[in-house]
Amino acid sequence: QVQLQESGPGLVKPSQTLSLTCTVSGGSISSGDYYWSWIRQPPGKGLEWIGYIYYSGSTYYNPSLKSRVTISVDTSKNQFSLKLSSVTAADTAVYYCARVPWGPGVWFDPWGQGTLVTVSS
């Protein structure tokens, strides 16, 4: 069964760029059957969709974050990545990666375990 694992720095300074990677195991990111997504959850709060990418590189972003977000894919490493620029304390959250079925439905299954990123000087 496919598993996803987030990795990256747990602390980022304000105004800098947050960078995370999601490694997919148990399945190929290039299969074409799925999109690959990032979602975040501020401590004690709800969930916010950030965006997703297809193996070809096509991306779809939440308009509220679009100006600061870049999602990319590395099929040779079976990984996809998130960059969020100009971060502030409001970007402190647990960041999850998840799989999305290709097609009209956008639901997230499975999810990685999540990684907490704190924005602080």
Among 10, 67, 104, 121, binds another protein (CB under 8 A): 104
108 close to 98: Cβ distance less than 8 angstroms: yes
Site string for another protein, 21-60 (x = CB under 8 A): -------------------------xxxx----------x
In the block, residue with structure tokens 């997504």: 37
Q: Which is nearer to another protein, 107 or 121 (CB)?
A: 107
Element (H, E) at 5: strand 3-7
Cα–Cα distance for residue pair 93/3, rounded to 1 Å: 21
Stretch of 8-16, 25-33, 67-75, 101-109 contacting another protein, by CB under 8 A? 101-109
Give the number of other Cβ atoms within 10 Å of residue 81's Cβ: 21
Q: How far is the CB of 46 from another protein (least distance, A)?
A: 5
Q: How many CA atoms lie within 13 A of 53 on its CB side?
A: 21
Among 62, 70, 78, 85, binds another protein (CB under 8 A): 62
- Binding site residues, another protein, CB under 8 A: 46-49, 60, 62-64, 96, 104-114
